[in-house]
Amino acid sequence: MTGKTILVLGGGVGGIVTANQLRRKLGAQHRIIVVEDHGEYVFTPSLLWVMVGWRQPQQITKDRRRLLRPDVELVAAEAQEIDLDGTRVRSSNGDLNYDYLVVALGADHSPAAMPGFSEAAHTPFNLEGASGLWSALQEFEGGRVAVLVSGVPYKCPAAPYEIALLLDDHLRQRGIREKCELQVYTPEPLPMGVAGPAMGHAVISILESKQIHFNPQLQPTRIDAERKELLFANRDAAPFDFLAATPPHRAPPVVQKSPLANEAGWVPVDRRTLQTGAKNVYAIGDVTLVTLANGKPLPKAGVFADGQAHTVARRIATEIQGAGVLAEYDGLGFCWIETGSGSAGFASGQFYAEPDPLVPLLRSGRMWHWGKILFEKYWLGEGVTRGVSHLGLNLAGKVFGVPVGL
């Protein structure tokens, strides 16, 4: 069999799982190449633990090479141009040809898109930001705490609400919660709206039980760093003394300028096959636009990147080997919501259900927090190189008895 080259752009969850699964399924004559310009992998679900001092940065980082199987090639480079006609990618380390291309570049943070964001906001959406927020939190002695969602879409639908709940827990641990007012400001009508109104109202109930105020359907325009105010197009300014915020998210420049992108810069794909409009080109994870049956987009979250990666790896392997049934992505997903004091909520369900996603209400308790710890240990313990399929869902289904259809 003539050897094929499968080029994977991006070394996050989707890229790592795709490459490892392909390597397990295909013979040595086929090349699996991952293109990634950052050598260090950050386990992003644990950034919120860094934000409140539960983890140190070195505890949630790993040499990316150690998360890939030894026979996967890793090219340390930035993808600069996707040349569909030439079936190649121009990179900062030269041109790379491909037979199959998997775009798994995720979503970039774009704080400059919100005036005043960089000057006024602490953001736990990257390692530097999470560490900086923790440092600033040590000096905070009380006042108005704002959690801002600067725009949609953004990674991890639960993140802003986890931020608010973990800040609440930290302030209570320090004994200064009664000196603080906690507000969440968001463009969304409900938290985690794609999971349905029942889920959204359940999250609001958790917030209200902690005296965290939920302010929905706002249009943030800028942050006045000097006056410490949030400015909106559709309501009065909101003052703050401490601001934790979700940054604006954009598709990476190489994707935005490619023929694969839509007007907003994201890559539309078939929700079952993850195929783009180009032959032998797939896209997975946060960089994609997956439209659900109800017309809403699939959330940007690592669990979906993981599931999509397994599907794409199986499809490519089947096509190359010329035998077997082509896999389709099932839309199963799950999410943790840290609520503080060693407890967490957990929800799992079928996001491809019709007419709307079928996601049961949150289950809460300490065991769900331990489930997330196990998930972290799996990834950073390099279990991902062994290729266990849908690990998080298996944890939920087999360890905790949650029916997720696997």
**pLDDT tens profile 268-325:** 999 999 999 999 999 999 999 999 999 999 999 999 999 999 999 999 999 999 988 9
- State whether 309 and 289 are in the same domain: yes
Average per-residue pLDDT in the chain?
93
Question: What is the pLDDT confidence band of residue 396, given thresholds at 50, 70 and 90?
Answer: very low
- State whether 187 and 173 are in the same domain: yes
Q: Is 371 a member of any domain?
A: no
Residue that finishes a domain, picked among 248, 264, 279 = 248
Q: For residues 345 and 363, is the Cβ–Cβ distance under 8 A?
A: yes
> With pLDDT > 90 as the criterion, what percentage of the chain qualifies?
88
pLDDT reading at 403 higher than 80: no
The pairing of strands 31-35 and 180-185 is: unpaired
- State whether 256 and 325 are in the same domain: yes
Q: What is the pLDDT of residues 5-43, one digit of tens each?
A: 999 999 999 999 999 999 999 999 999 999 999 999 999
Residues 6+ apart with CB under 8 A from 181: 143, 144, 145, 213
Number of structural domains (the chain) is 2
Residue that finishes a domain, picked among 220, 248, 276 = 248
Q: Is 383 a member of any domain?
A: no
Residue that finishes a domain, picked among 296, 313, 331 = 331
**pLDDT score for 387:** 57
pLDDT (mean) for 196-221: 96
CA distance 138 to 158: 24
100 is written with which tokens? 């199959």
Question: What is the pLDDT confidence band of residue 238, given thresholds at 50, 70 and 90?
Answer: very high
CA distance 246 to 155: 9
**pLDDT score for 384:** 79
- State whether 116 and 238 are in the same domain: yes
pLDDT reading at 49 higher than 90: yes
Question: What is the pLDDT confidence band of residue 394, given thresholds at 50, 70 and 90?
Answer: low
Q: Is 398 a member of any domain?
A: no
**pLDDT score for 400:** 42
- State whether 19 and 49 are in the same domain: yes
Q: What is the pLDDT of residues 120-177, one digit of tens each?
A: 999 999 999 999 999 999 999 999 999 999 999 999 999 999 999 999 999 999 999 9
**pLDDT score for 398:** 44
> In which element (H, E) is residue 237 found?
none
Q: Is 373 a member of any domain?
A: no
- State whether 215 and 278 are in the same domain: no
- From the number of C-beta atoms within 10 Å of its C-beta (0-12, 13-18, 19+), residue 296 rates as middle
pLDDT reading at 1 higher than 80: no
CA distances from 367 to 247, 302, 321, 346, 390 (A): 31, 21, 42, 10, 19
- State whether 116 and 237 are in the same domain: yes
372 is written with which tokens? 């997330």
Q: Is 346 a member of any domain?
A: no
**pLDDT score for 363:** 80
**pLDDT score for 272:** 98
* Range of weakest confidence among 260-274, 346-360, 370-384: 370-384
Q: Is 87 a member of any domain?
A: yes
* Cβ atoms within 10 Å, residue 213: 12
**pLDDT score for 401:** 45
Q: Is 372 a member of any domain?
A: no
**pLDDT score for 331:** 96
- State whether 287 and 317 are in the same domain: yes
Q: Is 103 a member of any domain?
A: yes
**pLDDT score for 361:** 75
Q: For residues 400 and 371, is the Cβ–Cβ distance under 8 A?
A: yes
CA distances from 300 to 101, 156, 194, 266, 403 (A): 21, 6, 11, 11, 23
CATH label of the domain that carries residue 289: 3.50.50.60
Q: For residues 310 and 302, is the Cβ–Cβ distance under 8 A?
A: no
- State whether 210 and 273 are in the same domain: no
- State whether 116 and 229 are in the same domain: yes
- State whether 132 and 56 are in the same domain: no
**pLDDT score for 74:** 98
Which residue did the predictor score with more confidence, 398 or 83?
83
Domain extent at residue 212: 111-248
For Cα atoms 60, 64, 68, give the angle at the middle one, nearest 5 degrees.
120
- State whether 210 and 284 are in the same domain: no
36 is written with which tokens? 């990634």
Question: What is the pLDDT confidence band of residue 379, given thresholds at 50, 70 and 90?
Answer: confident
Long-range contacts at 84-90 (CB < 8 A, ≥ 24 apart): 84/258, 84/259, 84/260, 84/278, 84/281, 87/280, 89/7, 89/9, 89/35
pLDDT reading at 330 higher than 60: yes
Burial code of 243-274, b = ≥16 C-beta within 10 A, e = fewer? bbbbbbbbbbebbbebebbeeebbbbbebebb
Residue 397, classed as helix, strand or coil, is helix
The pairing of strands 288-289 and 143-149 is: unpaired
Question: What is the pLDDT confidence band of residue 406, given thresholds at 50, 70 and 90?
Answer: very low
